[in-house]
Structure 1
């Protein structure tokens, strides 16, 4: 697999399709790797939660968070990888907008959940999971729809 330096070279040498391929292969690898880590901690959250505290309420919150949000780490892996690849392509606008979207979803979603009587921690965790998915999907869609091609000669 090509490193980021090679990715930058491809875009700099107008090997645009090769640069796209390298970026998407790396994003897929990141999704799989982050998804495996997230899936593992979602399936076995106590292995992680028990490392840091003896307080059972904290452990329970940690387990609950990991079980809900862990599977969504794959989306974060895609967005982070495509953000770094976008730096190499010199086109970071859409990945940055997607990161801002993640923050907006978290803030607005948590405000909405906090206004609900009897809101649970799990509801907040689902907001975080949705925000990770939104960021990953928006970043991927922007790249797929041509964010790396803006301003390049055909």
Structure 2
């Protein structure tokens, strides 16, 4: 049996101050099924995750659902550090400043529409900084 990352659904419910019994009624899901989601034995479908987000007030849940349980999300979504709004804003500001610093490199490498062999290391640094910026943007978007 495939194991899923179920702690995120449990955390969202607990953060909302709900018991499994309460969530069962609000989500229209049997408690046994809800427990299987929270224990990583079953993966909730997208529509149910949307309902969990609404019921639990957990805007971050969509991102973590995709990042932890979807193969495309695991591979391509940047890591996010979910934190307080103020720390998310400060991180975004820092990452924007870092990208501004590498802008000359971005322009230099991209101006000929090719990444040559000697530019690959530089482009790797660009890729890292942009990924960190995307993670900071995503963290701010999903902050409660």
Q: TM-score range by the shorter chain?
A: 0.3 to 0.5
Which structure has the larger Rg?
A: 2
**TM-score, with structure 1 as normaliser:** 0.33
Choose between structure 1 and 2: higher helix proportion.
Answer: 1
